[in-house]
Structure 1
Amino acid sequence: MQDSDPKHPGFFLNPSEKSPSYRSRAHLLPVAHETEFPSSLKKGLLIDPETATKTESETETLSFDKPVVCTRCHSLRHYGKVKDPTVENLLPDFDFDYTIGRRLASTGGTRSVVLMVVDSVDFDGSFPRKVAKLVTATIEENHKAWKEGKPANLPRMVLVVTKIDLLPSTVEPVRLERWVKRQARAGGAGQNTITSFHFVSAVKDWGLKNLVDDVVGLAGPRGCVWTVGAQNAGKSTLINALGKCLGGRIAHLTEAPVPGTTLGIVRVEGVLPGKTKLFDTPGLLHPNQITTRLSREEQRLVHIGKELKPRTYRIKSGHTIHIAGLMRLDIEQSSVDSIYITVWASPYLPLHMGKTENAQTMLEKHFGRQLQPPIGENRVEELGKWVKRKFWVRGDSWDSSSVDIAASGLGWFAVGIKGKAVFCVWTYEGVDVVIRPALIPYRSNTFEDAGFTVSKIVSKADQASNKQRQDAKRKQSNPKASVLAESPLLTVDADSNSC
């Protein structure tokens, strides 16, 4: 606790000093004897002007369940940002191993169910590998003890893939499920340790009822359900949607498109039936996600809030594609003339396609301007060092994408090729880049042109640069006018001599 800075966590104020006679209420008249106050107000009920015509008996039955929230949650709910971003770095990280891992490893107690929430449009970046490995090891160890006749409590692990409404409607459910199972095993989950898979959308209410029925059956009447996932994977949004879907008590959990909204373990009442306990946990910090180093304004540009639309290029060796100023794909070598590259990322991010030999010029002249984020030229250096990774790709079709090259927290390039190629991916140091089987094999029917894509960011940057060029030309053509415009105004004193 501290009382020096009201912006920092733990701020408090000492109570004001009171006079010795402050407990004496002899000069006050009891509220019950006041004639000008209605009985409804004496009982603690607040009458809304719209319902003022109702009788007192009807007013007394009104219930108000508006939650009381702190200023941080209020700012996140209504403005999508925190009042002071610098204070967020002072908040402690959530230690899953110490807080929940010990309970899962316990041989006794109630049954535990771990809901691993993963973002469908950032699967590899949001998949909690550490949690999957820990729960898998616990299940295998307790299962071995159970076979030996020792007491054991096997936790259940359920994988919940959220935000499936952001995927194109052409994605086949069966193919998506196979793809998720393959990637989950690659992320550290055991062969048979995941009890069930669920694909849900909190916005469209898809799959919520089946998820609750499955969780209740696994947890039993007194079990504990732990909702775990990366920051901004949609855990709080999912729990709020479950409460609305089941018609129970609505959970007023703060949700915002900002990583790290939930700060502590929150027990949610009234969502699951019986005495089953549901807990919302803080988002796990994945420093390999590019969103962890972006500002709030930059995160809003990267955030995917609508159904993904493909943006496809038909290019050849020696060309480069930029996703804003965050990621770059170079085609270094290729055994074929044409390669189809489909970009799956936020529609607010501008793209650029050009020759690889001009890539350094793009970095120096357009990063922070036409290619945002980063917003501002100074932010380019703040994000870190620009590093390269090399990938060897082989495909057997031009009509569909064979592999994805994905960056955590940003998006991915889908590669359609009938042959072999060598790709170089550039991004900031520390950002995780993986190659995987294609999530969405389809591409756009129309191709993007070379140069910048149509974007508000690009148009504003072009207007600013054009204005600077016009000002420079105006100064060169009429240097006297520019000197007069830049010179200070001449003033004459009141007592000076005049002609």
Structure 2
Amino acid sequence: MTNQLEQGTSCAGCGVKLQTETVDKPGFIPQAALAKEPAICQRCFRIKNYNEAASVAIDQDDFLKLLGGIAATNSLVVHIVDLFDFEGSLISGLQRFVGNNPVLLVVNKIDLLPKGINPNRLLNWVQKQTKAQGLRVVDIVLCSAKRNIGFERVIEAIGEHRGNRNVYVVGATNVGKSTLINRLIRDYSDLERELTTSRYPGTTLDAVHIPLDDGKEIIDTPGIVYSHRMTEIVPRDVLGALLPEKGIKPLVYQLNSGQTLFVGALARFDFIEGDRQSFTLYVSNALQIHRTKLERADELYADHKGELLAPPTKEQLEEMPEWTRHRLTVRRNSETDLFISGLGWIHVNGASGALVDIHVPKGVRVLMRDALI
């Protein structure tokens, strides 16, 4: 590429149109970097080399228009979800966007679950949850793109269902979409190209068209930002503690009613009523859990939030929404998870039922579901 920016040239990392005029706008690339091949914007350069990202917004109207255009195409839609945040990362209403195009559901990050989980049980659980959400799929594949687990099956499933179609890849932010697409490129295309991957939400800023060897394309769409996920609420430097990098080790607590667990300063779990029983936490092991009496919980939080109870720090908490309380009643003899989107879940082990409160930043989704494990 010459030192003149050709009109319409896109960043090879995130797909945004490149520009050399405004540093704080999407697609900025310094003049000196234009000669490099492939050309990537300054934001992608920083993510790839320094693991940092500037905050860049994408116009939501353009994004919805992009997603809504899929229905008019003849495509295979690959919907990638994060098993660790299944309900939080599933695209609600996807069916109306894709029309009659077949949907392949790829459930990523199975490596984060404890070892020894029965894959058939996982598959049955995903099928049930997917049906409950009203999403029709032609196939479901469990995998870990990062650990290269089950990826051969992803390739096979795409080959089985693609036919002579393009492939649209859709998903929420931070579900491992770009990591998986980079693997697809290596398997399906001679193109020496790698999308920008990072732990920051919204890394891909525009639709990225990747030519395949048979003349068709993989189209990577921007990640959907869902504000009901904890990962979208917290400051960026908290994501490292919030998002597990490897298999989580479940934490089991025997609690009497009137006891409280704090997950850093991100969430609070109150056991209000019920027989003594155990609760298992499935959250990132980088997060600190503190147990206290319910009667002391308010005081402990007021005195120690952002310090003993961290992350986030006191300063970061000021930028986050205030906590709101969710009261949940767990039925007797039910296999139940208490799910907190973007954080993980708490499994209720007792058969006697329980009345609990969960406090999280306002807007974060909390729900009861059939137990995953």
TM range (shorter): 0.7 to 0.9
2:294 counterpart letter in structure 1: T
Partner of residue 409, structure 1: 342
User: Which of the residues 115, 119, 122 maps onto 2:85?
Assistant: 122
CA distance in 2, matches of 1:430, 1:97: 21
User: Which of the residues 139, 143, 156 maps onto 1:200?
Assistant: 143
Asked if structure 1 preserves the Cα contact closer than 8 Å seen for 2:107 and 2:142, the reply is: yes
Larger CA deviation: 344-353 vs 178-187: 178-187
Alignment of 1:23-422 (within 5 A): 67-82=38-53, 84-85=54-55, 88=56, 90-93=57-60, 95=62, 97-104=64-71, 106=72, 111-135=74-98, 138=99, 154-189=100-135, 193-221=136-164, 223-245=165-187, 248-270=190-212, 273-334=213-274, 336=275, 338-375=276-313, 377-396=314-333, 402-422=335-355
Count of residues in Structure 1 that have an aligned counterpart in Structure 2: 352
Cα deviation, residue 206, structure 1:
2.2
CA distance in 2, matches of 1:96, 1:159: 21
Secondary structure of 1:361's aligned partner: helix
Asked if structure 1 preserves the Cα contact closer than 8 Å seen for 2:69 and 2:97, the reply is: no
Asked if structure 1 preserves the Cα contact closer than 8 Å seen for 2:141 and 2:154, the reply is: yes
2:263 counterpart letter in structure 1: I
Partner of residue 464, structure 1: none
Q: Which has the larger radius of gyration?
A: 1
TM-score by length of 2: 0.87
CA distance in 2, matches of 1:201, 1:341: 27
Identical-residue share of aligned pairs (%): 32
CA distance in 2, matches of 1:437, 1:259: 28
CA distance in 2, matches of 1:130, 1:369: 40
Cα deviation, residue 248, structure 1:
4.4
Change (3 A) 1:257 1:315: same
CA distance in 1, matches of 2:320, 2:155: 41
Secondary structure of 2:52's aligned partner: coil
Alignment of 1:413-432 (within 5 A): 413-432=346-365
CA distance in 1, matches of 2:20, 2:65: 30
Deviations 1:166-198 (A, max 9, x none): 111211111001111111122231xxx210001
User: Which of the residues 415, 422, 433 maps onto 2:366?
Assistant: 433
Secondary structure of 1:129's aligned partner: coil
Cα deviation, residue 213, structure 1:
2.6
Asked if structure 1 preserves the Cα contact closer than 8 Å seen for 2:29 and 2:41, the reply is: no
2:225 counterpart letter in structure 1: L
Cα deviation, residue 200, structure 1:
1.4
Cα deviation, residue 347, structure 1:
1.1
Asked if structure 1 preserves the Cα contact closer than 8 Å seen for 2:79 and 2:105, the reply is: yes
Secondary structure of 2:331's aligned partner: strand
What's the RMSD between the two structures over aligned residues? 2.4
Asked if structure 2 preserves the Cα contact closer than 8 Å seen for 1:251 and 1:269, the reply is: no
CA distance in 1, matches of 2:299, 2:96: 44
CA distance in 2, matches of 1:357, 1:412: 24
Secondary structure of 1:218's aligned partner: helix
Larger CA deviation: 297-306 vs 125-134: 125-134
Cα deviation, residue 120, structure 1:
1.1
Cα deviation, residue 308, structure 1:
1.1
Q: Which has the higher contact order (CA 8 A, sep 6+)?
A: 2
Asked if structure 2 preserves the Cα contact closer than 8 Å seen for 1:205 and 1:245, the reply is: no
Asked if structure 2 preserves the Cα contact closer than 8 Å seen for 1:209 and 1:246, the reply is: no
CA distance in 1, matches of 2:316, 2:101: 45
Secondary structure of 1:76's aligned partner: helix
Unaligned runs of 5+ in 1: 15-64, 139-153, 441-499
Cα deviation, residue 116, structure 1:
0.7
Partner of residue 14, structure 2: none
CA distance in 2, matches of 1:10, 1:158: 31
Asked if structure 1 preserves the Cα contact closer than 8 Å seen for 2:76 and 2:167, the reply is: yes
CA distance in 1, matches of 2:41, 2:25: 14
- Give the structure with the larger helix fraction: 1
CA distance in 2, matches of 1:228, 1:403: 29
TM-score by length of 1: 0.66
CA distance in 2, matches of 1:395, 1:301: 34
Secondary structure of 2:93's aligned partner: helix
Deviations 1:328-359 (A, max 9, x none): 1111111x2x2111111111111111100111
Secondary structure of 2:333's aligned partner: strand
Change (3 A) 1:417 1:236: same
Cα deviation, residue 300, structure 1:
1.4
Secondary structure of 1:121's aligned partner: helix
